[in-house]
Amino acid sequence: MNIPEGLKYTKDHEWVKVEGNIGTVGVTDYAQGELGDIIYLDVTTVGNDVAMGDAFGTIEAVKTVSDMYAPVSGKIAEFNSAVNDNPAIVNQDPYGAGWMVKIEISNMGDLDSLLSPEEYKNLIGG
């Protein structure tokens, strides 16, 4: 299971990569594998302020639909147009081209409660 170093993880199987006050958010390799073929990302929250743990969108796979939760509080600054056009990118490259949103982090302290790669690995039994 691919769990890159340098990212923070959530119990909801999302990752966040922090550069300055911008957090880039996606789902983990484990999550995309569990979801199977992803067919649509429904994100209508660009420009909104969200609190840590709020649903910022939904992810539609062939067999199932699930919410995506903000790993940190802040403003949804951008939705990745590439995954909007071709959601399969999330399956193919979940930590790279398959990122979903960028969040302007309002409270850097939120990051402290997220999981390290090691802790996430333990969570999924990898």
Partner 1 sequence: MAKQTAFYDLHKAYNAKIVDFAGFEMPVQYDGIIAEHMAVRNSVGVFDVSHMGEFFVKGKDALAFIQKCTTNDASKLTPGKVQYSAMCYEDGGVVDDLLVYCYGEYFMLVVNASNIEKDFNWLQSNINGFDVELTNRSDDFSLLAVQGKNAIKTLQKLTDTELEPMKYYTFTEGKIAGVDTIISRTGYTGEGIGFELYIPSDKATSEKIWKEIFKAGEEFNIKPIGLGARDTLRLEAGYCLYGNDIDKTTNTIEAGLGWITKPKKGEFNGKAKVDSELANGSARKLAGFIVEGRLAARHGYEIYADGNRIGHVTSGSISPCLNKNIGLGYVETKYSTPGTKIKIKVRNDFIEAEVVKIPFVGKE
Residues within the interface to partner 1 (CB under 8 A) = 33, 36-37, 39-40, 42, 58, 60, 62-63, 65, 91
CB of 16 or CB of 35, closer to partner 1: 35
- Give least dist CB 90 to partner 1, A: 12
CB of 36 or CB of 109, closer to partner 1: 36
CA–CA dist 76, 93 (Å, integer): 21
- Give least dist CB 119 to partner 1, A: 24
CB of 40 or CB of 118, closer to partner 1: 40
CB of 91 or CB of 106, closer to partner 1: 91
CA–CA dist 112, 19 (Å, integer): 15
- Give least dist CB 114 to partner 1, A: 26
All residues at 6 or more sequence positions from 76 whose CB lies less than 8 Å from its CB, including other chains? 43, 45, 46, 47, 48, 50, 56, 70, 101, 102, 103
Helix (H, G, I), strand (E, B) or coil at 1: coil
- Give least dist CB 75 to partner 1, A: 21
CA–CA dist 33, 108 (Å, integer): 30
Largest CA distance in the chain: 37
